[in-house]
Structure 1
């Protein structure tokens, strides 16, 4: 392992830039996984990272030691930082000080929508995005399509909220959702608090594409008009609508319920 103790070290400066700038992460095609859970999930699902970063104190942690051993045995570069330097990279308070630097996947977008998927129209909150992909992965959905204006799928905040779900999904960014809807071989279902049809009235035993929109504005009108169904989620309290992440979970697991009860 190599130790870096200076803030002026070129590699440390590069890491600091990645940690603090979404633009830098997009340009480099790299991002940071923060904490033991995400690092272990990456090792299990994706393999070895290009770079492992650990704080000095965390070297005493058994889980961290096991991760470092696995990386070192496979000749992955491991860097040790003084705790103060590490904490300038991490956004996690009171966590275990380990980071992976990973390459963000480049996946060719399918030409048509043929399997159950999630379509996100300008969903901007990282916590919402991460919760949606976590629920999607748990429900067995494999694909997520993101419009321009949707938060960066591979930001550290989104990754933490996703809890490893990213490594089970194909995520496509900067997608023209209107064009994609024109190439859908499956029904597209959009949620709307003003829809007449309720979620529980729709047959979800087949693959469907779920369309969710901006936290405040909902799905754009032109996309909403192209959906096969517009559905509402009934609720009893005096609240206009559910949070988009909560709505998505209800939808996904109603689909799971119908698919599993039909067997």
Structure 2
């Protein structure tokens, strides 16, 4: 490990800060920033190679941090950063043990009949990360994001996803209409004015599940390409469900049917 960096004007730290703060920088460089031990472990588990790993001086001698650093490939540069400087780079209230710059994983070509999740203009990082976490847990690995979605590899979405990104094939900037039109399985869109209950649908075969923006929902163009508009029954007093909750309910209704 290199000597401790004690100045925020260090060029490597300045680049790290740009990646944390600027979506254009992340997309242009095809990089992401992983905050904390758990995310770095998850990336290493799928053989992603960090270009640089910054270690918080306060945590550098901890046994769990030392064990993590021992897993780093030889191509990864490891730098220790003074406590006061490290805290200035992260947006977290409490500075994590490590920050790592990693390449964004590339989506693989899916099987034609693989079930998939299509997300249109999801704006809240917490919602998107939670949806990805639910998709990974429900084993729906193909995820398509419209150009209007928040950056899926932003630090906030990565934290909320808790490593789910590395279990999924994430297709950014997708033409959702083209993807939906080409899909040969059942196409379901969640809709408050849906004519049929989610629980009356057969989800056991290949499905494409479409969810839309937190405020406006799914666009008419995508609704017109779907086979059915489904609603989640809400007998209580609520106008609608959070999009991440709705996605989780739909995904795990599919899991329930597959296990029956």
- Counterpart of 1:28 in structure 2 is 29
Query: In 2, distance between residues paired with 1:164 and 1:91?
Result: 19
C-alpha distance in 1 between matches for 2:76 and 2:146: 35
Q: Say if 2:249 is the partner of 1:250.
A: yes
Aligned to 2:91: 91
Match for residue 239 of structure 1?
A: 238
Q: Check conservation: 1:144, 1:170, Cα contact below 8 A.
A: yes
Cα drift, residue 95 of structure 1: 4.9
2:8 matches 1:10: no
Work out whether residues 190 and 211 of structure 1, in 8 Å CA contact, stay in contact via their aligned partners in 2.
Answer: yes
Aligned residue for 1:247, secondary structure, equals helix
Corresponding residue number in structure 2 for 1:198? 197
Partners of 1:161 and 1:208 lie apart in 2 by 25
- Whether the 8 Å contact between 2:108 and 2:169 is mirrored in structure 1 is no
DSSP-derived class of the 1:203 partner: coil
CA distance in 2, matches of 1:221, 1:68: 49
Alpha-carbon distance between aligned partners in 2 of 1:60 and 1:18, rounded to the nearest angstrom: 26
Q: Distance in 2 between matches of 1:113 and 1:87?
A: 46
SS at match of 1:53: strand
- Report the equivalent of 1:49: 50
Q: Which residue of 2 aligns with 1:81?
A: 81
Paired residue for 2:154? 155
**RMSD between superposed Cα atoms in Å:** 1.5
Contact 1:109-1:172 within 8 A present in 2 as well: no
**Quick one: distance in 2 between partners of 1:20 and 1:231?**
38
**Contact 1:113–1:180 (Cα < 8 Å) also in 2:** no
* Consecutive unaligned residues in structure 2, runs of 5 or more: none
CA drift at 1:47: 4.1
Corresponding position of 1:121: 120
Q: Deviations over 1:94-137 (max 9, x none)?
A: 35321111001233555x85211110000110000000000000
The answer (yes or no) to whether the contact 1:133–1:162 under 8 Å persists in 2 is: yes
In structure 1, what is the equivalent of residue 62 of structure 2?
61
Q: Distance in 2 between matches of 1:143 and 1:191?
A: 18
Deviation at 1:7, TM superposition (A): 2.1
Partners of 2:49 and 2:75 within 8 A in 1: no
Task: State the alpha-carbon separation in 2 of the partners of residues 231 and 39 from structure 1.
Answer: 38
Report the count of equivalent residues.
Answer: 259
Query: Would you say the 8 A contact 1:46–1:167 is kept in 2?
Result: no
TM-score normalised by the chain length of structure 2: 0.95
| Consecutive unaligned residues in structure 1, runs of 5 or more | none
Going from structure 1 to structure 2, the CA distance change for 1:75 and 1:30 (only over 3 Å counts) comes to closer
CA distance in 2, matches of 1:45, 1:60: 25
Identify the residue that residue 103 of structure 1 maps to in structure 2. Answer: 103
